[in-house]
């Protein structure tokens, strides 16, 4: 069963065609890593899946909810309802954390529970503390983001996403803003989520994570999917010349 299905997805910014007919799918419980050079459309694709970027053309189905774009600039009221439903079933973890600076770690985690799910504050705090403990940050619950390291901020962001009980989590280069010493703390949490069967779509250049955890690697270049294969095949040197050129430029 597919959790995500994308067909013919296209997106342009002015004359710049960022996505040019992207097709791929993610099965329930699968971990799919998206790799590719800068400007290949990876982040735009990820942001399109929960409509932070509105695609121009194509269909997106997430958790059984399909939105079809036909090139018209406006979204119908029915599509707006579908987009809201998709967002309620997905979480996104950003490269730049996107935490509220004026709220503590715990308040960042519980904000959506109280404002969106209308949960009682006491219940939200209880769940928030459980999730912070899960990512190893219970002791930092009452600290503000300014007093947290980059790795700690990202783990708070993951806990915030998990608080909404998503069916799929989208990760946009979650470790690229972190020092090497801090990356592993975040990757440990992501590995645990994968073991628990969370459906994950991850834009990253973390080769070891892709090799150890991913079920598939999708390679993008020029706004299209060039390869969609297993980690063994992708990193084994049997891919296209463009893939081999890319792998020569990153540490493997």
- What's the pLDDT score for residue 251? 61
pLDDT at 75 over 70: yes
pLDDT tier at 229, thresholds 50, 70, 90: very high
pLDDT at 224: 96
Nearest to 18 by CA among 27, 6, 10, 26: 10
pLDDT, tens digit (0-9, with 9 covering 90-100), for 20-68 = 999 999 999 999 999 999 999 999 999 999 999 999 999 999 999 999 9
> Using alpha carbons only, how large is the chain's radius of gyration in Å?
18
The whole-angstrom separation of Cα 169 and Cα 158 is: 9
Read off the pLDDT of residues 4-33 as tens digits, 9 standing for 90 and up: 999 999 999 999 999 999 999 999 999 999
Segment 109-132 mean pLDDT: 93
For residue 105, the SS3 value is helix
CA 154 from chain center: how many Å?
Answer: 12
Listed as own residue / partner, the contacts of 196-200 with beta carbons closer than 8 Å and 24 or more positions apart are: 197/29, 198/29, 198/168, 198/169, 199/3, 199/4, 199/26, 199/27, 199/28, 199/29, 199/30, 199/31, 199/167, 199/168, 199/169, 200/30, 200/31, 200/32, 200/168, 200/169, 200/170, 200/171
Domain range summary for the chain, segments of one domain joined by +: 2-249
- Range with lowest mean pLDDT among 11-15, 70-74, 109-113, 149-153: 70-74
The better pLDDT of the pair 1, 168 is held by 168
In terms of CATH architecture, what is 2-249?
Answer: 3-Layer(aba) Sandwich (3.40)
Mean pLDDT over each residue of the chain, to the nearest integer: 94
* From 75-79, 168-172, 180-184, the region with the lowest mean pLDDT: 180-184
Task: Kindly write down the DSSP assignment for every residue of 35-83, as one continuous string.
Answer: E--TTSSHHHHHHHHTTSS--SEEEEEETTEEEEEES-SSPPHHHHHHH
What pLDDT score does 148 carry? 96
């Amino acid at each position: 069963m597919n959790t995500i299905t994308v067909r013919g997805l296209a997106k342009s910014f002015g004359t710049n065609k960022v996505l040019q007919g992207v097709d791929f799918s993610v099965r329930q419980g699968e971990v799919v890593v998206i790799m590719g050079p800068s400007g290949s459309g990876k982040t735009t694709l990820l942001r399109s899946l929960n409509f932070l970027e509105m695609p121009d053309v194509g269909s997106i189905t997430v958790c059984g909810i399909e939105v079809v774009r036909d090139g018209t600039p406006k979204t119908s009221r029915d599509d707006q309802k579908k987009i809201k439903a998709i967002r309620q079933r997905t979480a996104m973890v950003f490269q730049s954390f996107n935490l509220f600076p004026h709220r503590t770690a715990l308040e960042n985690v519980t904000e959506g529970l109280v404002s969106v799910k209308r949960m009682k504050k006491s219940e939200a705090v209880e769940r928030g503390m459980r999730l912070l403990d899960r990512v190893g940050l219970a002791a930092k619950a009452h600290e503000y983001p300014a007093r947290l390291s980059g790795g700690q901020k990202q783990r708070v962001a993951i806990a915030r996403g998990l608080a909404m009980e998503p069916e799929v989590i989208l990760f946009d280069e979650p470790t690229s803003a972190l020092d090497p010493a801090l990356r592993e703390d975040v990757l440990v949490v992501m590995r645990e989520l994968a073991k628990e069967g969370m459906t994950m779509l991850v834009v990253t250049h973390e080769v070891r994570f892709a090799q150890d955890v991913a079920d598939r690697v999708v390679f993008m270049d020029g706004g299209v999917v060039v390869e969609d294969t297993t980690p063994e095949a992708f990193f084994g040197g049997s891919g296209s010349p463009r893939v081999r050129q890319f792998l020569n430029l990153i540490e493997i």
